[in-house]
Amino acid sequence: MLFYSNAFNLINWFENGVDSSTLMYIQNIMLAKIHANFLNGPNVDLYIRFNQFSAVDYGFGIGWELGLSRVDEETGEDGSVIKTLVLLNGERYRITSSADGDVSLQYKQTLVFKVVKKGDVYTIYNKNGLVETVDNGRTVKITDRNGTSISIVWNEDGSFSINNDDGSALVKTSILSDENKTTHSVTTPRGTIDYVVQPLDGNLMALAEVNDTNPDRRLFSMEYLSHNDKYLAIKKFISSLSFYQCENISYENLKCPPGLNVNVLGSLPSIRFFVNLFGLPCI
């Protein structure tokens, strides 16, 4: 993250558009609706979510975070390793303890979940009954209150599969790269969606478009501006699913407190809606 703030735990990461408290432009794209083990659960809506203050590429381009709980690691200015727990709902908490047992989280006040650590494995116990297992920073299992579960198998290239208890696949992804682009294909029982990632400004990998393969049609397209050397911000977002909605987003630099030596962008959106079935051009 560009910087750390408790404000990131107080916003609704599922609400698309500009958050009024942080002026972040947030966008969610659903990867899959998971109803596992013949409707016995767990049931999970899997998203990718855009965060303009994240420089990490989780396989869908810089800033697009995969909506599974994880533990991110960064190197502090003093060389120390900083670990942050990121939850399914987008909330993030700095981990302040390293010993096995109950995990201490900075700014955590809510009682709707608790985290226990054993070795490299973090187990998240949620009030709704879901239990999430995070191993080596990534979610590898989600267990429902009735004992049924899904497992997430990660490949070296960042692709993954999500499987029922019997091993059958609910979601399976693959990554194909060439010199011009990287295509992350997500296959579910409904079909295959291609997430096309292309280089921006030389070396920043940006999600440029999302395409359905059957029928062949474009679902979303995006344009970006770069900031703080390695971060991206969406300046245009077009959705063919929402009445051909086009959003043009402009930004301005916000005032920062002393000691925060970065440029923090606040977004000021302009929205147009297209209802023409042929999709009028976005201007």
3-state secondary structure labels for all residues of 35-72: EHHHHCCCEEEEEEEECCCCCCCCCCCCCEEECCCEEE
| Residue 97 structure tokens | 């303890």
Question: Rounded to an integer, what distance in angstroms lies between the CA atom of residue 71 and that of residue 8?
Answer: 15
Determine the structural domain holding residue 136 and report its residue range: 68-146
101 found inside a domain: yes
Q: Which residue has the higher pLDDT, 150 or 80?
A: 150
pTM for this entry: 0.89
d(CA 174, CA 194): 10
Q: Assess if residue 98 is contained within a domain.
A: yes
Q: What is the mean pLDDT of residues 68-79?
A: 88
Please return the burial class of 171, using the count of CB atoms within 10 Å of its CB with bins 0-12, 13-18 and 19+. buried
What average pLDDT score do residues 115-128 get?
96
Which alpha helices (DSSP H) does the chain contain, by range?
A: 36-39
Residue 255 belongs to some domain of the structure: no
Nearest to 220 by CA among 54, 28, 32: 28
pLDDT at residue number 277: 45
pLDDT value of position 216: 84
> In the structure, what pLDDT confidence band is assigned to residue 43 with cuts at 50, 70 and 90?
very high
Assign 9 to helix, strand or coil: helix
Overall domain count for the chain = 1
Does residue 137 lie within any of the structural domains? yes
In this structure, is residue 13 part of a structural domain? no
Of 76-85, 147-156, 214-223, 255-264, where does mean pLDDT reach its minimum?
255-264
| Assigned domain for 225 exists | no
